[in-house]
Amino acid sequence: MEVDQVVPLPRLPRVAVCGGTHGNELSGVYLVRELLKLQREVMKKEQEEDLKPASVLLVLSNPRAMQQCRRYVDTDLNRCFTHATLNGPLSDMAPYEIIRSRELNALLGPKGSPAAVDLVCDLHNTTANMGLCFIAYSDCDWICLHIFRHLQREMPDTPMRFLHFDVSNKESYSLDSVGKHGFAMEIGPQPHGVVRSNIYTAMKVGVQHMLDWVRLFNSGNVFEGGFVDVFTMVKHIDYPRDSETRNITAAIHPCLQDRDFCLLHPEDPLFQTFSGETVRYKGTEPLYPFFINECAYYEKGIALSLARKRRVTIPAIRVQTEQEQQPNEQGFASEEEE
Amino acid sequence: IEARRVAIFGGTHGNEMSGVTLVNLWTKNGAEIQRKAVEAVPFITNPKAVEKCTRYVDTDLNRAFTPENLSAPGGNNLPYEVLRAQEINRIFGPKGSPEAYDVIFDLHNTTSNMGCTLILESSKDYFNLQMMNYIKKAMAPASCLVLLNEHPLLKYSTSRSVAKHPVGLEVGPQPQGVLRSNIFEAMRVILKHALDFIELFNEGVEFPPCTVEVFRVLERIDYPRDANGNIIAMVHPNLQDCDWEPLNPGDPMFQTFDGKTIHYQGSGTVYPTFINEAAYYEKQQAFITTRRETLVASAIKKA
């Protein structure tokens, strides 16, 4: 693929920004509430001045969990968006989040159909020291990769990484997979149940730049090609646990705590047991750790995750012209190959 | 004064992991907390909350030890934590009686950047003041500060208040539900020094009069809210993580969600703490203000 060749991609008329998918990740909750307030003010003004409204859907994904300031009520909402879960049978006793995932799929999807929103940006916080991360299922969705590169350029003081989870479309499970394009914007460190002004501001600025990029793209701007470093998840590592009680028997080692994205070498410390011993990384390949000591992952059996880094070449892109758009009305999944 | 019966409480809030982990560890193997003539009892105060990794199930256990709750009839119809409070009062109290435990250490974590903090409930508790003086000196140059909550309205009925000498240990910053190695080890060290002090006291060592610098609780400051009670601003970046640093009139205090600064309007310099504690959003508390004071403790010696 020539880097000079400009790849035309379909317009992105509808964008969704979602907060509160986990009810205690507060930056997204407060940001979406604030954007809703501003949108109401702008819409009022637009009605008065007869302007075309911007098509940004603002969604508070899990209101009940938000109200209780918990991650979820019955089950993790951000695991409910597989095709199987969305289309399977629904009993009266279905967990709240399963019912809610169907409502969100109707609002933003249906997943996999031409009616789905063009871009979903799902806002999250983590207790891990990860800075700002994009989390996506694809390492060749040029839209997401270009948005990421735009944010890197506009926010040079914010540590920023692109995380790739190599999950097929069939198996994808998170809210952002409902749109034609989607990614999670994950910012940390922030304790759950707390909003830190620096983290909130980074998220607000990041979302603003994303929306600016979409407007520029839709207006015909050409975005030049280049490179993005992509971190692809390889595996998770669980805490050492007591064989009977399953309680953890060690904590993340002080040398590893807060060192997300600092290369972990074989024999580097991983955990410190409560009796003071060091448990070391026994893998043979140096890998990049992330989600180090994320609160919500204790119950998922994840102390940290490990990724491989590689440089991905991204082509120049621009929006399709009216003529170019015609044959693309049916399909959108194959645009990366054009 | 006696320091014969000592307890260590963990899991009063089920998601404050240092205390939960330490108490579980010491329940399995208590060698580390034994001292001559003292058997320190490790105890999980709120097991249901610990199991769910949540602060509380029905109501905050660390506010539940009021006289009304402790004497409330109603059996199993009572909220879980009220039942627990009554049970804890039976085992380690009764609160206010000669049979109550001598010393209870209650282990807590906070999302605030408070470092190692000891919480004192009475400025006249010379035994506690002497112990805190000992701990501070043993930990130096590492910091260990003392928060005095004797405020008639803001003081609350804690789990540890069942004992004659209640000691709160608060170590942060640590997110709820997370175990950080450095925070865990810090709490362990504080307790080691505390138990060393008790051992010395029980051996008959006399502790001469001493002075202890404390931070006395003044008032609670809530987040700015709108007419519906929703929070409309966050702790300002200049104040975030600045526990124990002076806050002067005119200093930035909050930042609204659209970026405006709200300044501190008090009449004098205060020392804020519990800045941006997750559990206090629902208690209408963004931070508390304190003033610095020096307390004097008389000499103490085992009778």
Do both B19 and B142 map to the same domain? yes
Q: Convert the pLDDT of each residue in A314-332 to its tens digit.
A: 999 999 998 887 665 555 4
Do both B54 and B176 map to the same domain? yes
Question: Does A22 belong to an annotated binding site?
Answer: yes
Residues of B in contact with A38 (CB under 8 A): 258
Mean of all residue pLDDT scores within chain A: 93
Q: Is the pLDDT of residue A127 over 70?
A: yes
Residues of A in contact with B24 (CB under 8 A): 247
Phi-psi region of A212 (alpha: psi -120 to 50; beta: other; left: phi over 0): alpha
Structural domains of chain A in order of their starting residue, each with its CATH number: 6-89+96-231 (3.40.630.10), 234-311 (2.20.25.160)
Q: Is the pLDDT of residue A16 over 90?
A: yes
Q: At B136, which CATH number?
A: 3.40.630.10
Test A198 with B230 for CB contact under 8 angstroms.
no
Q: Which of B214, B240, B274 is the last residue of a domain?
A: B214
Interface of A with B in 164-223 (CB under 8 A): 189, 191-198, 200-201
CB A290 within 8 A of CB A304: yes
pLDDT of residue A323: 85
Q: Could you give the ipTM of this predicted complex? A: 0.95
The DSSP-derived string for A245-300 is T--B-EEE-TTTTT-TTSPBPTT-EEEEETTSPEEE---SS-BEEESTT-GGGTTT
Q: How confident is the model at residue A46 (pLDDT cuts 50, 70, 90)?
A: low
Q: Decide if B182 is inside a domain.
A: yes
Do both B48 and B160 map to the same domain? yes
Q: Is the pLDDT of residue A338 over 70?
A: no
Q: Is the pLDDT of residue A12 over 80?
A: yes
Interface of A with B in 66-105 (CB under 8 A): 69-70
CB distance from A33 to chain B under 8 Å?
yes
Percent of chain A with pLDDT over 90: 85
Copy the structure tokens of residue B76.
Answer: 């199993």
Q: Is the pLDDT of residue A1 over 80?
A: no
Do both B107 and B170 map to the same domain? yes
At B71, give phi and psi (nearest 5°).
Answer: -110, 5
Do both B242 and B191 map to the same domain? no
In the set A186, A224, A267, A299, the catalytic residue is A186
Q: Decide if B140 is inside a domain.
A: yes
Test A252 with B237 for CB contact under 8 angstroms.
no
Test A191 with B240 for CB contact under 8 angstroms.
no
Q: Residue B78 gets which letter from DSSP? A: S
Do both B227 and B162 map to the same domain? no
pLDDT of residue A337: 44
Do both B253 and B152 map to the same domain? no
Within 13 Å of residue B275, how many CA atoms lie on the same side as its CB? 27
Test B181 with A253 for CB contact under 8 angstroms.
yes
Do both B136 and B258 map to the same domain? no
At B180, give phi and psi (nearest 5°).
Answer: -105, 130
| CA A280/CA A267 separation, integer angstroms | 5
Q: Convert the pLDDT of each residue in A226-284 to its tens digit.
A: 999 999 999 999 999 999 989 999 999 999 999 999 999 999 999 999 999 999 999 99
**Averaged over B48-72, what is the pLDDT?**
97
Instruction: Note if the bond before A110 is cis, omega within 30 degrees.
Output: yes
Q: Decide if B156 is inside a domain.
A: yes
pLDDT of residue A328: 52
SS3 for B270-283 is EEEECCCCHHHCCC
pLDDT of residue A92: 83
Q: Which of B185, B214, B243 is the last residue of a domain?
A: B214
Test B257 with A194 for CB contact under 8 angstroms.
no
Q: At B284, which CATH number?
A: 2.20.25.160
| CA A251/CA A229 separation, integer angstroms | 30
Q: Identify which has the larger pLDDT, A324 or A167.
A: A167
The DSSP-derived string for B204-270 is T--B--EEEEEEEEEEEEPPPB-TTS-B-EEE-TTTTT-TTS-B-TTSEEEEETTS-EEE---SS-B
Listed in sequence order, the DSSP H helices in B93-232 are 126-139, 181-202
Q: Is the pLDDT of residue A334 over 50?
A: no
pLDDT of residue A335: 46
| CA A39/CA A187 separation, integer angstroms | 24
Do both B95 and B234 map to the same domain? no
SS3 B180: coil
Q: How confident is the model at residue B39 (pLDDT cuts 50, 70, 90)?
A: confident
Within 13 Å of residue B170, how many CA atoms lie on the same side as its CB? 20
Do both B153 and B68 map to the same domain? yes
Domains of chain B: total? 2
Q: Is the pLDDT of residue A51 over 80?
A: no
Q: Decide if B303 is inside a domain.
A: no
Q: How confident is the model at residue B74 (pLDDT cuts 50, 70, 90)?
A: confident
Question: Does A337 belong to an annotated binding site?
Answer: no
Copy the structure tokens of residue A13.
Answer: 């008329």
Name the nearest CA neighbour of B118 among B168, B161, B159: B168
Percent of chain A with pLDDT over 70: 92
Do both B31 and B74 map to the same domain? yes
For an interface test with A, the pick among B21, B181, B262 (most A C-beta atoms closer than 10 Å) comes out as: B181
Q: Decide if B50 is inside a domain.
A: yes
Test B276 with A30 for CB contact under 8 angstroms.
no
Percent of chain B with pLDDT over 90: 94
Q: Is the pLDDT of residue A54 over 60?
A: no
The percent of chain B in helix, strand and coil, each rounded to the nearest 5, is 30, 30, 45
For an interface test with B, the pick among A295, A297, A299 (most B C-beta atoms closer than 10 Å) comes out as: A295
**Residue range(s) defining the domain that contains residue B153:** 5-214
Test B181 with A257 for CB contact under 8 angstroms.
yes
**pTM of the complete model:** 0.94
CA separation (Å) from B60 to A129, B24, B127?
30, 21, 28
CA distance B222 to chain A (A): 14
Q: Which of B214, B243, B270 is the last residue of a domain?
A: B214
CB contacts < 8 Å between A and B, how many? 86
pLDDT of residue A169: 87
- B234 closest CB neighbour out of A195, A252, A299: A195
CB distance from A258 to chain B under 8 Å?
no
CB distance from A293 to chain B under 8 Å?
yes
